[in-house]
């Protein structure tokens, strides 16, 4: 097979799709970015020799955000109102409903859920 895409993105968390995404890239410089979350640890379905033709696989967590160096500035921007977080919060629940929060995420009914823990902080 000749040709292929420069970049492919695997967003499903399915190792079979990962293999197809990887093989769809151009030999010599194609790059596959893993974005999907895998429900259980899986072995990559690739033969090591398939990596010798110049294709690469890389993972992306938080879109490449670097918490140690970038989080302090991001927190300041949020506190000053430069970055608006409210549109990304789809649910707010008390901490004791943490299992419900996870279920909302699994069911695709929540993007971000804030858990209220204020009663645990009282002295």
pLDDT, tens digit, for every residue of 58-113?
888 777 788 889 999 999 999 999 999 888 889 999 999 999 999 998 888 888 88
pLDDT score of 64 = 77
C-alpha 121/C-alpha 123 separation (Å) is: 6
* pTM recorded for the entire structure: 0.56
Report the mean per-residue pLDDT for the chain. Answer: 86
Identify the DSSP state of 26: P
Q: Which residues contact 122 (CB under 8 A, 6 or more apart)?
A: none
Mean pLDDT of 26-52: 85
Asked whether the predicted pLDDT for residue 121 surpasses 70, the reply is no
Phi, psi (5° rounding) for residue 115?
-100, 125
* Distance between CA atoms of residues 51 and 23, nearest Å: 10
């Amino acid at each position: 097979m000749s040709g292929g895409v420069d970049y492919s993105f695997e967003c499903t968390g399915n190792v079979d799709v990962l293999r197809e995404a990887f093989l769809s890239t151009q030999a010599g410089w194609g790059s596959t970015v893993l974005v999907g979350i895998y429900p259980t640890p899986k072995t990559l379905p690739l033969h090591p020799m398939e990596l010798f033709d110049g294709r690469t696989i890389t993972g992306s967590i938080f879109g490449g955000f670097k918490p140690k160096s970038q989080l302090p500035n991001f927190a300041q921007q949020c506190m000053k109102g430069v970055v608006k977080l409210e549109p990304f919060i789809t649910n707010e629940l008390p901490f004791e409903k943490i299992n419900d929060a996870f279920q909302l995420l699994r069911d695709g009914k929540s993007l971000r859920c804030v858990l209220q823990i204020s009663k645990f902080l009282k002295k």
